[in-house]
Amino acid sequence: MKSSPLEFQRRFYAPPAAFKDGKIPLAPEETRHLTKVLRLGPGAGVEVFDGEGRNFAAVVQEAGVAAAVLQVLEELPPRGESFLDLTLGIGLAKGEALDAVVRQATEMGVKRILPFTSERSEQASPERAARRRTRWQRLARESLKSCRRSAIPGIEDPRDFAAALTGPETQKLLFWEEESGGGLQALLRRGRPDSVRVLIGPEGGFTSQEAHQARDAGFEIVSLGPRLLKVPTAALAALTLIQYAWGDLA
């Protein structure tokens, strides 16, 4: 039995442990989406992914109020993953700014999201940080459904700025609004690096001391132009330019 391309638009998430003997019980939230929002019943063709790179064509076997069960038909080829190993470090910001960043970074093919605290960032308690991380992981899963990626980006616990500077990436960029030299256009004309780490500051940006600290740690300091951008706008602009120059965008 083959599912049509239209059916693949109906995507559901199930963790790897849920895949047993070709049957996949959906979690309550996914069940509500299937039965209440999409109003799908037994026999409907869908796609299910495990968040670690595997996608499957499936059919709804049971669509009860409490739980829905899918029957796997076949494994589908992986899709939607960028070949550029891209990590985004983002300063903690107030309100829902980072919610938007997580959604957009997922759509842009980012592999890892590293929230960090800095001099001008929000300072969150461990309890609040844990709640926000759980929320961001849920938002990333939701974005994965619509953008048709295969793997959920890793979202780390918040770390301090010094820890955000450490990593194995071959190209490291810090975007700073006070960098008058620009430099991004010339940098993006270089050959494609194996991996990239991008740091975007919180509301209020980075301090000059932090910019110097990043430069000493091997980061190149670049800007996004003369205008001050909101955190989600700056993150999306940076990721778009990098994916266009070095990744799989266009």
What residue ranges do the domains of the chain occupy? Answer: 5-76, 85-246
Give me the amino acid identity at 173. Answer: L
pLDDT, position 8? 52
Residues 104-128 have a mean pLDDT of 94
pLDDT, position 6? 43
Which of these, 29, 171, 200, 184, lies nearest to 102 by C-alpha position?
A: 200
Helix orientation angle between 231-246 and 97-107, rounded to the nearest 10 degrees: 10
DSSP state of 210: H
Q: Are 232 and 91 in contact (CB under 8 A)?
A: no
Answer yes or no: pTM beyond 0.85.
Answer: yes
CATH architecture, domain defined by 85-246: 3-Layer(aba) Sandwich (3.40)
Query: How big is the CA angle at 156 (ends 153 and 158), to the nearest 5 degrees?
Result: 140
Q: Are 111 and 85 in contact (CB under 8 A)?
A: yes
Average pLDDT, the chain: 92
Give me the amino acid identity at 64. Answer: G
Tokens describing residue 4: 């049509």
pLDDT, position 183? 80
| Distance (Å) of CA 61 to CA 23, 34, 69, 71 | 9, 12, 5, 6
pLDDT band for 125, please (50, 70, 90 cuts): confident
Q: Topology of domain 5-76, per CATH?
A: Ribosomal Protein L25; Chain P (2.40.240)
Kindly give the pairing relationship between strand 154-155 and strand 171-175: unpaired
What residues contact residue 94 under an 8 Å CB cut-off, 6+ apart? 122, 203
Give me the amino acid identity at 135. Answer: R
| Distance (Å) of CA 98 to CA 82, 122, 219 | 22, 11, 23
